Amino acid sequence: MADTSTPVTYGGWQSERSGFMGRLSGTGFALVVGGCVLLLTPLNLASWTAAFVCVPLAVLLFTLAFGRVLGLSADEWILLAVRHQINVATRRNVFMSGVFAPRSSKTGQQPMDLPGVLARLRFVEAPDGLGGTLGISHDPVAGTYTAVARITFPGLALIDSDRQAARVAAWSGFLRSHCTEDSPIVRLAVHQRCLPDDGAALRSWTERHLAPDAPQEAVAALTELMEGAGPAATTRETYLSVTLSASRARLAVKGAGGGQVGAAAVLVRELHAMHSALSSASLQVVEWLAPRALAQVVRTAYDPEAQMMLATRNAAAQSPDWQGLPSGVDPQLAGPAYAETDWGVYRHDGAWTVSYQVRTWPQADVYATFLQPLLRPRENARRSLSILYEPIGPRRARQDLAREKARRQSARQLRAKTGRDESAEELIEAEKARAQDIARATGQGVVRLTAVLAVTVTDLEELETACAELQADAAASGLELRRMWGAQDVGFATAALPLGQGLPDRRIGF
């Protein structure tokens, strides 16, 4: 029997490779071919004049294909820069809602208006099967339906290694249960945000529970304590989003009535089925968000200043004598009033956000708590972390891993023929790929995984300091981050919002 007193370590992350030829993209391969043609042209023409023209052009094409700029190939960098400049020139990087949003010709009301890649989303309402309502984010283009739950988790830092390993194993079992050919769940995302606590909810609760005959000295001491300690505290919110594909579940959707009603019914059924597995992983579902609660999560991400007002109103709405608006936000008001995408920063409603993608996971084995430094409390900034899982069915997992092994084997054979030695990194990657294939063959699941982080400030002068602190904490976790240059709006939608925005079909650079 293995000695369970030793803390369990984890590792073996594999980078996804999707180059058209080796590590080259389709554009990079075309540039290499063009460079080779230019080099051969002077030889065929036997002309020095052609050589003076073609050789510099060939060098330029090779530089664009193999050159790197902040981790991106030169051709990818140029494409991003050109696309961004076109958006700036045509004002597509600016979003204005509020009074500028168009009104419906039928109802005369302003519809829910979200910027960028979120513009196609619609929040629909469905019964949750328990007498309440469930807010579902519907993407009509991708044909997906996403439900979001607010969850609590006891954590891993203050428990022994055996219980840590048990909870991690339960979570991996939950993920593995969706790595089937017929699973309608195509994406699972865990979102956690760490933000300064303004103390509004605490003050509202205290006012409602304060006895009328309380001593004035005690009231004054309590007020002073809340004013000093409340704003210095930090709040963590954790969400789990579950995404269902209508195309994958078309038969079940048709059997449940078809359309949005049928898809919502199938999604609710899947949510109820996963409760026991979540409980086994020590994840407690506080609530599946209703439309107004889901809209509030989106609204407070775009407008951090609204957090205090909404916390106070939500706390007051718990009173039976409350006659005002219900808790949450109207879904039509979920989006920002103004947003602007710059090259490296995303501005939205008086706040600024910088998004990063985790490009390299720890190369060495790590403990289960290795991500804790990323969400350290910070008084000057709020942080968000989204970890996206896309379960892969056994057939596709077998094909992808076999293709990956074939590519690595071909590269090794080519290096052997050219007399080059194999580096230690390449040997380790090959061993990881072999171990991953063995694990798949023994019944383990395979998922696509990525993590995106965002740091948000309300004072522009503190932005670079907050970014430097985040990168330092990421380095302490063994992660390598890359700023999502030219795609900050996409990064914000993925990192700062628990709406289950997914991975691209093929890896692209940021």
Across the range 380-398, mean pLDDT stands at 90
Whether 220 maps to a domain, the answer reads no
The reply to whether 288 falls in a domain is yes
pTM greater than the 0.75 cutoff: yes
Q: What is the dihedral of CA 242, 245, 251, 254, to 10 degrees?
A: 90
DSSP per residue over 283-322, as a string? -EEEEEPPHHHHHHHHHHHH-TTHHHHHHHHHHHHTSTT-
Total domains present in the chain: 2
Number of C-alpha atoms within 13 angstroms, CB side, residue 443? 2
- Say if 203 falls within a structural domain: no
Range of the domain at 52: 25-89
Predicted confidence band at 71 (pLDDT cuts at 50, 70, 90)?
low
Say if residue 96's pLDDT is above 50. yes
> Does residue 241 lie within any of the structural domains?
yes
Q: Are residues 325 and 449 in the same domain?
A: yes
Residue 216 covered by a domain: no
The residue behind tokens 């107004």 is: 292
- Written as one letter, the residue type at 236 is R
- What's the pLDDT tens digit per position in 138-195? 999 899 999 999 999 887 777 788 888 888 889 999 999 899 888 899 999 999 998 7
Q: 70 with 187, same domain?
A: no
| SS3 of 105-116 | CCCCCCCCCCCH
Q: What is the DSSP letter of 246?
A: T
Beta strands in 39-143 (DSSP E): 68-69, 72-73, 94-96, 122-127, 133-139
- 171 and 79 within one domain: no
